[in-house]
Structure 1
Amino acid sequence: MSLRATRVGEQMKKELSDIIGRKLKDPRIGFVTVTDVRVTGDLQQAKVYISVLGDEEQKKNTLKGLAKATGFIRSEIGQRIRLRKTPEIYFEIDETIDYGQRIESLIKQISEEKEHKEE
């Protein structure tokens, strides 16, 4: 990824957090954290990774709500960031947080089992 794409991604991440947190009124959209934005080198597409507080149903509903609001979100981004063409935006659930929590719980479980064997 080019330096410019990285900078645009960082700027988009900041703006998207603000837009999703303050401007969107869709009840399907839950508590969302924008964890990362990856912009292609040609600045044509942006994959937005989000973390959603809640169960699988809440995550699905949030993705649906964000997909419905993509046009509005793109126009907001276009007004806030000066680019010739605003990238197409795609939302994806960031699984790395869940993955990290799973690993952490497994490590904790192993250490607890080890302690019980030593007693």
Structure 2
Amino acid sequence: MSQRSQRVSALLRESIQAVISKGLQDPRVRGLITVTKVTTADDLSQSTVYVSIMPVEHADLTMHGLKAAAAHIRRQAGAKLSLGRLPHLLFKLDTTIARQAGVLDALAKVAQEREEREAAEQAEIASDPQHSTEEPAADER
């Protein structure tokens, strides 16, 4: 990607996020929508807009709404930018955040299981009379 297309991508990301944050009239577009990345072709003909949607249950319907509103979003975002020619927008779902959340949930579950196992082992050791930590009395020696 050229330096110019990188600058355009950065400007578009901010501008598109602002348009989406204001809200769209399409009832399919709902949930927390975050523009995670924008990549623009070197000839500035097309930009791919990666979005994260929470909750995940709304993702399919919201993606249909965003694709239908692409021309409107392009016009609104272009009004904020001073570009001669604005790239066409192609929306794609970014599942990176959802995957990261899944990994974090799995790690939390493993940590909880480890704590429960260690607590059970400690309870077993404490209830076992053979693992007494008391010193024998002096007259028993």
* TM-score, normalisation: structure 2: 0.74
Matches within 5 A, 1:11-26: 11-22=11-22, 24-26=24-26
AA at the equivalent of 1:33: T
Structure 1 equivalent of residue 91 of structure 2: 91
Aligned length: 118
Question: CA RMSD of the aligned region, Å?
Answer: 1.7
- The one of the two structures with greater contact order (alpha-carbon pairs below 8 A, sep at least 6) is 1
* Identity score, percent: 31
Structure 2 equivalent of residue 66 of structure 1: 66
Contact in 2 for aligned 1:77/1:86 (Cα 8 Å): no
AA at the equivalent of 1:72: H
Gaps of 5+ in 2: 120-141
Structure 2 equivalent of residue 51 of structure 1: 52
Larger radius of gyration: 2
Gaps of 5+ in 1: none
Structure 2 equivalent of residue 114 of structure 1: 114
Q: Equivalents in 1 of 2:75, 2:42: separation in Å?
A: 21
Q: Equivalents in 1 of 2:76, 2:108: separation in Å?
A: 44
Displacement after TM superposition at 1:48 (Å): 0.8
Q: Equivalents in 1 of 2:55, 2:114: separation in Å?
A: 32
* TM-score, normalisation: structure 1: 0.86
Displacement after TM superposition at 1:43 (Å): 1.8
- Moved >3 Å (runs of 4+): none
Q: Equivalents in 2 of 1:51, 1:23: separation in Å?
A: 16
Displacement after TM superposition at 1:23 (Å): 5.3
Query: Is the deviation greater in 96-105 or in 77-86?
Result: 77-86
Q: Equivalents in 2 of 1:115, 1:24: separation in Å?
A: 46
